Amino acid sequence: MKAFRIMLACTAIVAFIGSSIAFATGFNIGASGTKKVTFSNRVGANQITFESSAPLEDIQGTANDISGSIMLDPSNIEATTGMITVKVKSMETGIKKRDSHLMGGDWLNEEQYPTITFAIKSLKNVKSISNDNGKSAVQAIAVGDFTMHGVTRQLEVPVTLTYIRESEKTKERAPGDLVMVQGDFSIALKDFKVEGSKGTVGSKVGETIKLKANFFGSTGL
């Protein structure tokens, strides 16, 4: 009976250690230790594209003035934290007058709220999707605070992280290991108190906006 209890305790300890190890997901490319990944257009074109679909018109736009960084441990991706900042003024939709309306008080009020930010607190549900030739990618859910128009809401954003070890080819872009973060999510305008000019939301502008983000950074910048 005593031997059974010892065996049970040992099994429990092994299971606990095993689950702790399994909890930390890595890129499996021989890199470890927390690194600061600074986003830069040298690595790739940092850009957010947004889409609004409404009965009268579909609008496509971009935002290009993006800065920020993440703290990433390639052997423990769940512990990733960071901050991404987008300048509202860099938003374009292909109609200059519409762009200036977008910055105005009825919409994003650029004068009072010049930036949109996403503060990443952690990543969860990390799954490896590819790993070859010094390039590894994972899918995850980024949990963080999204702030727009002075309103902060916690969002869970599905992201793909791609990590490339430094090589002669990557050095042509920037020194250090390179990282790409891609996100795909939607936001409801009313959640961020963006009301728009009278009668516009729902007819000319969609009530929800689809966003696709591409961020590129390096550990050597």
Partner 1 sequence: MNIWKAIVYLCAIGVLVVAILWLVDGMQIYTKTGSQVITIDELWGTKEVKWIPDFQLGLLPSAPSLSMEALSALPIAGILAVVGFIAFRISRRGSVPRP
Kindly give the residue spans of alpha helices, DSSP state H, lying in the chain. 2-23, 96-103, 168-171
Catalog residues that contact partner 1 under the rule CB under 8 A: 44-45, 47, 49, 56-57, 60, 62, 92, 94-98, 162, 164, 169-170, 173, 178, 180, 182, 214, 216
Torsional class of 7: left (φ above 0), alpha (ψ -120 to 50), beta (otherwise): alpha
Residue 65 CB, shortest distance to partner 1, in Å, is 14
CB nearer to partner 1: pick between 119 and 204: 204
**Pick from 168, 163, 167: nearest CA to 217:** 163
CB nearer to partner 1: pick between 36 and 101: 101
CB nearer to partner 1: pick between 78 and 92: 92
**Pick from 106, 123, 113: nearest CA to 86:** 113
Residue 199 CB, shortest distance to partner 1, in Å, is 15
3-state secondary structure (DSSP) of residue 3: helix
3-state SS track over 29-93: CCCCCCEEEEECCCCCCCEEEEEEECCCCEEEEEECCEEEEEEECCCCHHHCEEEEEEEHHHEEC
Residue 55 CB, shortest distance to partner 1, in Å, is 10
**Pick from 217, 209, 189: nearest CA to 43:** 217
The Cα-based distances of 161 to 53, 144, 175, 214 in angstroms read 28, 16, 19, 10
CB nearer to partner 1: pick between 33 and 94: 94
CB nearer to partner 1: pick between 63 and 192: 63
Residue 127 CB, shortest distance to partner 1, in Å, is 20
Strand 135-148 to strand 151-164: parallel, antiparallel, or no bridges (unpaired)?
antiparallel
CB nearer to partner 1: pick between 62 and 81: 62
Residue 101 CB, shortest distance to partner 1, in Å, is 8
Residue 200 CB, shortest distance to partner 1, in Å, is 12
